[in-house]
Amino acid sequence: MKRRSIVAANWKMNGNLSLINDMITGLNAVHLTENVDVVVCPSFPYLASFTAIAQREGLQKSIHLGSQNVNEHQSGAFTGEISIDMLKECSVQYVIVGHSERRDIYKESSKLVADKVACVLDAGLTPILCIGESEAERETEQTNLVLSAQLQSVIDKIGIEKFDDVVIAYEPVWAIGTGKTASPEMAQETHQFIREFLALSNAEIANKVPLLYGGSVNASNCETLFAQPDIDGGLIGGASLKVDEFKVICSAAKG
């Protein structure tokens, strides 16, 4: 079956209002294949501005707004955090959850990540669940073990049926921001494992879940990566800050 293709831009702690204007203007000129969604995830201060500019340009239906994170609580004394209701008021549709930088730098556990996935789903938004292994784990052949544990934690929390509304981004930690990238064959092998692991719980849902690759995707490697049967798009970091390069990546997604 055909799955939706998704190209999501994760700007991390980068970008400004000028980039939002340039990106929306640039994407306005891109002809996307049917069944392809583009998601842009700027920093929290720019969420409302992104929505306003996209509406002004008439692109709010073709370019979707995403958040880089969310707090698992609805409200409360959590200084510096942002709630799911706040994101909804900014017209956010997608939320990145469990990015490797959150897991590593801020020590977010798989249990916390699962709680955040549940929070996003309960609000009717779409989580982009990030999973991935470190270079040491890859070298010691623990990739499948690590990915299984990260996925199982979420399955245990929400149940496999709710994965019908989940997007998964596989991001080998050793390939994020390093310029390194898995070969298309290596990335496909891991994506196939992810789909097969989900199929152990429900084969029909496993076949529907969009699987994104998130390891130094750029304009020169996106075509071959997106051509793999189990790679349904990408979670793009550095290249998403370059309008012309991101346009090429979006155009490479086939749906």
Query: Residue 8 pairs with which residues in a beta bridge?
Result: 39, 235
Structure token digits, residue 126: 């779409």
Q: Is 216 annotated as a binding residue?
A: yes
| 69 marked ligand binding residue | no
- DSSP characters over 160-194: GGGGGG-EEEE--GGGSSSS----HHHHHHHHHHH
SS3 16: coil
Does the annotation list 21 as a binding residue? no
Question: Which helix H or strand E contains 223, and what residues bound it?
Answer: helix 222-226
Q: How far apart are CA 241 and CA 118, in angstroms?
A: 30
Q: Does the annotation list 15 as a binding residue?
A: no
> What is residue 95's three-state secondary structure?
strand
Is 12 known as a binding-site position?
yes
Q: What are the structure tokens assigned to 102, written together?
A: 């959150």
Q: Which residues are marked as active site?
A: 99, 171
What are the binding residues?
Answer: 10-12, 177, 216, 237-238
What are the binding residues for substrate?
Answer: 10-12, 177, 216, 237-238
